[in-house]
């Protein structure tokens, strides 16, 4: 395993590795991705092996510019143009009917493909250098927490790939929003870095969410136990969060609380309980959330008691990830 600070030489090396069929972990503004060149079928297959990901889960494609996306789709409808204009490069993945140029192994039998232009200078420079699209899921093992630092990738899957490009901590910290434009109405498959309100503003239309609990999930990212730390995650309301923490801690369990609420004035911190009190800025919460999940595991926290933020703006993605971590997709 090699971790390299993502300077000019390292990006060139990454490009050569990808062009010859290797795997490279790359920084994006959302989370680190496990990248293979779209023109290297064996490398694309290896992504599934390294992640332990079922072949029924499609990979998203990253491109440097719109002209690289167009050959991958049957058409690029007006709604997609508006959204690409507004949010690309950025944390928005558009799902569109695929063309025959997309390798079958990354679409998992779907007739669609998910595409985005990432907004990270290293990812963009690498895409330009390579001159071909890159397929990249998040660089973690299936159902585990996505990596937002190069060191997270190294710990999780470092031995199974050729190079980790270290581009520093990810700015957004949660994955891209996945929006399906292949049907009659825009459908939000995964809330993420671009808010639903922002999408609706640009589209001048409402964005629907798939009905939960239907037999065949439209997007496998909807898998209910996803983004999970090893600690048990329990959801509590703002009103009850400190009292539930106290009673569990008194029972001798190692507890951590994720909340916007300050402890009550009479709070006597039990020795086995501590907290991450959220800053007011949702972006700051998103940037740290996955690192905090990992830290809880390192600190051998047994139960994480979490509050769900208001599901508006970035809060929708935060609440989604916290619910999934609790196994309540
Ligand atoms: O922010 C991100 O999107 C990161 C960075 C690396 O770009 N990537 C990422 O990839 O999160 P992944 O594979 O971990 O999640 C992509 C999500 C999955 O839930 C996948 O099922 C869904 O997008 N997806 C991809 N292609 C799809 C398609 N054609 N139809 C429906 N869902 C799709
Ligand atoms: Mg993922």
In a structure prediction context, what are the per-residue pLDDT tens digits for the chain, which is 329 residues long? 799 999 999 999 999 999 999 999 999 999 999 999 999 999 999 999 999 999 999 999 999 999 999 999 999 999 999 999 999 999 999 999 999 999 999 999 899 999 999 999 999 999 999 999 999 999 999 989 999 999 999 999 999 999 999 999 999 999 999 999 999 999 999 999 999 999 999 999 999 988 765 444 445 555 556 678 889 999 999 999 999 999 998 888 999 999 999 999 888 878 899 999 999 999 999 999 999 999 999 999 999 999 999 999 999 999 999 999 999 87
List all residues 6 or more positions away from 97 whose beta carbon is below 8 Å from its beta carbon: 73, 74, 75, 111, 112, 113, 182
Q: How far apart are alpha carbons 125 and 131 in whole angstroms?
A: 10
Q: What is the pLDDT of residue 215?
A: 43
Report whether residue 177 contacts ligand 1, using a CB cutoff of 6 Å: no
Q: Whose CA is nearest to atom 32 of ligand 1?
A: 219
**90's tokens:** 């950025």
Q: Provide the pLDDT for residue 78.
A: 97
Tell me, using a 6 A CB cutoff, whether residue 329 lines ligand 1.
no
Relative to beta strand 232-235, strand 60-62 is: unpaired
Name beta bridge partners: 112: 97
Report the separation in Å between the CA atom of 276 and the middle of ligand 2, taken as the mean of its atom positions. Answer: 24
Ligand 2 centroid distance, CA of 141 (Å): 8
Residue owning the nearest CA to atom 10 of ligand 1: 137
Select from 55, 178, 190 the residue to mutate for testing ligand 1; criterion: most ligand atoms less than 8 Å from CB.
178
51 vs 69: CA distance, rounded Å:
25
Q: Where are the beta strands (DSSP E) in 130-207?
A: 134-135, 163-166, 177-180, 187-190
pTM above 0.85, yes or no: yes
Instruction: Please tell me the distance between residue 301's alpha carbon and the centre of ligand 2 in angstroms.
Output: 23
Write down all domains in the chain, each with its CATH number in brackets: 3-203 (3.90.870.10), 232-325 (3.40.50.11030)
Q: Assess contact for 177 and 93: CB atoms under 8 A.
A: yes
282-298 vs 150-157: helix crossing angle, rounded to 10: 40
Q: Kindly state the tokens that stand for 199.
A: 């999408």
What pLDDT does residue 213 have?
55
Which ligand lies nearest the alpha carbon of 142?
Answer: 2
Q: Which ligand is nearest to the CA of 221?
A: 1
* Sheet with 112-116, edge to edge strand ranges: 3-5, 163-166, 24-26, 33-37, 134-135, 60-62, 112-116, 92-97, 177-180, 187-190
* Short-list 245, 267, 265, 264, CA closest to 256: 245
Beta strands in the chain (DSSP E): 3-5, 24-26, 33-37, 60-62, 92-97, 112-116, 134-135, 163-166, 177-180, 187-190, 232-235, 255-259, 273-277, 303-306
CA 219 / ligand 1 centre spacing (Å): 8
Q: 137 C-alpha to center of ligand 2: Å?
A: 6
């Amino acid at each position: 395993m090699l971790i390299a600070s993502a300077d000019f030489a390292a990006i060139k090396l990454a490009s050569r590795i990808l062009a010859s069929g290797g795997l490279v972990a790359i920084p994006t503004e959302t989370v680190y991705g496990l990248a293979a060149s779209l023109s290297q079928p064996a490398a694309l297959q290896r992504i599934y092996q390294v992640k332990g990901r079922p072949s029924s889960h499609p990979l998203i494609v990253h491109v440097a510019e719109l002209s690289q996306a167009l050959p991958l789709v049957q058409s690029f409808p007006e709604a997609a143009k508006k959204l690409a204009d507004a949010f690309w490069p950025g944390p928005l993945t558009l799902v569109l009917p695929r063309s025959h140029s997309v390798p079958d192994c990354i679409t998992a039998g779907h007739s669609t493909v998910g595409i985005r232009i990432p907004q990270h200078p290293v990812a963009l420079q690498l895409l330009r250098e390579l001159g071909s699209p890159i397929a990249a899921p998040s660089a973690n093992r299936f159902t585990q927490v996505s990596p937002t630092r190069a060191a997270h990738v190294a710990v999780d899957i470092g031995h199974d790939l050729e190079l980790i490009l270290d581009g520093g901590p990810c700015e957004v910290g949660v994955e891209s929003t996945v929006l399906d434009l292949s049907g009659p109405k825009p459908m939000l498959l995964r809330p993420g870095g671009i808010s639903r309100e922002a999408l609706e503003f640009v589209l001048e239309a409402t964005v629907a969410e798939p009905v939960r609990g239907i037999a065949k999930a439209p997007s496998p990212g909807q898998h209910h136990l996803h983004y999970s730390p090893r600690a048990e995650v329990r959801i509590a309301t703002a009103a009850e969060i400190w009292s539930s923490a106290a009673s569990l801690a008194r029972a001798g369990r190692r507890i951590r609380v994720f909340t916007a609420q300050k402890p009550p004035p009479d709070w006597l911190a039990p020795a086995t309980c501590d907290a991450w009190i959220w800053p007011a800025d949702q972006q700051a919460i998103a940037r740290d959330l996955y690192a905090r999940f990992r830290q809880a595991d390192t600190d051998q926290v047994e139960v994480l008691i979490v509050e769900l933020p208001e599901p508006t703006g970035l809060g929708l993605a935060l609440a989604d990830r916290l619910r999934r971590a609790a196994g309540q997709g």
